[in-house]
Amino acid sequence: MNVVELLNKRRAVRAYSDKDVPKELIREIFAQAQQSASNCNTQPWHVSIISGDTKNQLATDLVAEVSSGKAPSPTFQPGDYGLADEYKVRQVDCAVALYKAVGVERGDKPARMELMLKNWQFFGAPHVAIFSMPKAMKEVNAVDVGIYLQAIMLLMVENGLASCPQGALAFYPDPILEVAQIPEENGILFGLSFGYEDQEAQINTAKTDRAALDDIAVFVG
């Protein structure tokens, strides 16, 4: 697949088969993504890949933490903070596409909560990668981690894998920090659940669209 094909094929996948991804393939993908560009080649990303029983126990602990009513405590400002105008519209459209795919009414709060909780169950994926960078760093450094994330997601598609990037995995850091061996000076930016797509799952039929080029670009001169 060329880059255009990879870009078009990648989507956020939210249901997986329970088949593990071979360890060597995971290592190969993350090794290749090391080629990503970054400001002054600082490579500010750290990634912790969690699988097996540790991943299952972490899902249990995260669901308990989220359900306890505790307030979220992300290190960095979440991506949905203070959204307005077209950004708010797009956020709502994205949620509605997901509800529609699984037949959840927008007014059905318990069903929406159940759907939301799947974030902390890693959508049933056999693996989750937790991305962090030093807490002292800011937006421009986070751009580097985003570039790295995109490389990983496209490499996964190239290798027959699916993934879902998740800002939600930054909201309740404590259970993750207990097991993920993240450097002490780092904060969690997002997670990426990954594995083999469950081809039958309704949730994976959710489709998002994109703004037209002329809504986001100007060509000057």
- Whichever of 77 and 208 has its CB closer to ligand FMN, that residue is 208
DSSP code, position 76: S
**Cross-strand pairs, 12:** 163
Footprint of ligand FMN on 177-196 (CB under 6 A) = 190
**162 near ligand FMN, judged by CB under 6 A:** no
Using CA atoms, how far apart are residues 80 and 85, in angstroms rounded to an integer? 13
**166 near ligand FMN, judged by CB under 6 A:** yes
- Whichever of 27 and 87 has its CB closer to ligand FMN, that residue is 87
Place of tokens 């994926």: 125
**167 near ligand FMN, judged by CB under 6 A:** yes
DSSP code, position 221: -
Q: Structure tokens of 15?
A: 């249901």
Using CA atoms, how far apart are residues 143 and 139, in angstroms rounded to an integer? 6
Are 102 and 115 spatial neighbours (Cβ–Cβ below 8 Å)?
A: yes
Among 168, 177, 182, 188, binds ligand FMN (CB under 6 A): 168
- Closest approach, Cβ 21 to ligand FMN, in A, equals 19
Using CA atoms, how far apart are residues 122 and 145, in angstroms rounded to an integer? 20
Tally the residues of the chain. Answer: 221
Footprint of ligand FMN on 69-128 (CB under 6 A) = 79, 94, 119
- Whichever of 14 and 55 has its CB closer to ligand FMN, that residue is 14
- Whichever of 182 and 192 has its CB closer to ligand FMN, that residue is 192
Which residues bind to ligand FMN, rule: CB under 6 A?
A: 11-12, 14, 79, 94, 119, 164-168, 190, 208
